[in-house]
Amino acid sequence: DAGVIQSPRHEVTEMGQEVTLRCKPISGHDYLFWYRQTMMRGLELLIYFNNNVPIDDSGMPEDRFSAKMPNASFSTLKIQPSEPRDSAVYFCASSLGLLAGISGTDTQYFGPGTRLTVL
Amino acid sequence: QKEVEQDPGPLSVPEGAIVSLNCTYSNSAFQYFMWYRQYSRKGPELLMYTYSSGNKEDGRFTAQVDKSSKYISLFIRDSQPSDSATYLCAMSVTFSGNTPLVFGKGTRLSVIA
């Protein structure tokens, strides 16, 4: 399996521009998580989905951020308009979910991240 | 106060040393405690997990949880240069891939040959 795939790996944009980050979870995984990592705040959950439905978006910082999961194999995180304080590494993670959790061996598998710089 | 506190380091040790990494937390509902390892420019990978209080050993790695003190530790014996990475503690109320994790900020470790 190729693991969680994220694109682009690096994104440099100017303040005010729209940014779209993409994620392809591991095939068969029911849960998808978007996290953001900064030096100041560490790794923080933004939003997560179960079977393509958003479950908790309380971590989304403000209305400029939106996330969608149109199907089981694709999710996007969009920032419009972008600001310099959005500069961070954005990670997508996926997992099998409840059934695997019963065996106690489930875990979240992280992608390589997208390093976003907003100038 | 952040739910999970972790000293960011950096921590630099010679090869072969015993390394101790620690986290404290405030939410007594946490039951599962995990350590993730993150190499530079990579995503975090699960290293170990423990349930409730106690110890768990896996090769050179030992995870300890003291729920009464709300304190968890990861020990690395005979540290190797390949152990150089950022180590993040993470916690959740349940252990399952469907539960959002609360992470510490991570401790950057360098093992010098």
* pLDDT block averages, 10 residues each, chain B of length 113: 86 96 94 93 91 88 94 96 96 77 94 96
HSE, CB side, 13 Å, CA atoms: give it for residue B69: 10
pLDDT tier for residue A108 given thresholds of 50, 70 and 90: confident
Query: Peptide bond preceding B44: is omega within 30 degrees of 0, i.e. cis?
Result: no
Bridge partners (DSSP) of residue A76 are A22, A68
Does the pLDDT value for residue A105 go beyond 70?
no
- Which residues does B28 contact at the CB level (< 8 Å), separation at least 6? B67, B70
* CA–CA gap between residue A10 and residue A21 (Å, rounded): 10
**pLDDT at res. A71:** 94
**pLDDT at res. A87:** 97
Do the Cβ atoms of A97 and B94 come within 8 Å?
no
Bridge partners (DSSP) of residue B35 are B48, B89
**pLDDT at res. A1:** 63
B82 three-class SS: helix
Specify the DSSP element, H or E, that contains A54: strand A53-56
* CA–CA gap between residue B80 and residue B45 (Å, rounded): 18
**pLDDT at res. B27:** 92
Residue A86 main-chain phi, psi, to 5 deg: -85, -10
**pLDDT at res. A75:** 98
* CA–CA gap between residue B84 and residue B87 (Å, rounded): 9
Closest chain B residue by Cα to residue A93: B43
pLDDT 10s digits, A4-23: 999 999 999 999 999 999 99
**pLDDT at res. B25:** 96
Chain A residues inside the 8 Å CB shell of B43: 4, 91, 93, 110-113
Q: Look at A100 and B38; give whichever has higher pLDDT.
A: B38
Chain A residues at the B interface, defined by Cβ less than 8 Å, are: 4, 29-31, 33, 41-45, 48, 50, 56, 91, 93, 95-98, 100-101, 104, 106-108, 110-113
The answer to whether B91 touches B38, Cβ cutoff 8 Å, is no
A101 three-class SS: helix
Does the pLDDT value for residue A99 go beyond 90?
no
**Residue A76 structure tokens:** 């996007």
The answer to whether B81 touches B112, Cβ cutoff 8 Å, is yes
Return the beta strands (E) in chain B as ranges.
Answer: 4-6, 11-14, 19-25, 32-38, 45-51, 54-58, 61-66, 71-76, 85-92, 102-103, 107-112
Does the pLDDT value for residue A101 go beyond 60?
no
B5 and chain A in contact, CB less than 8 A? no
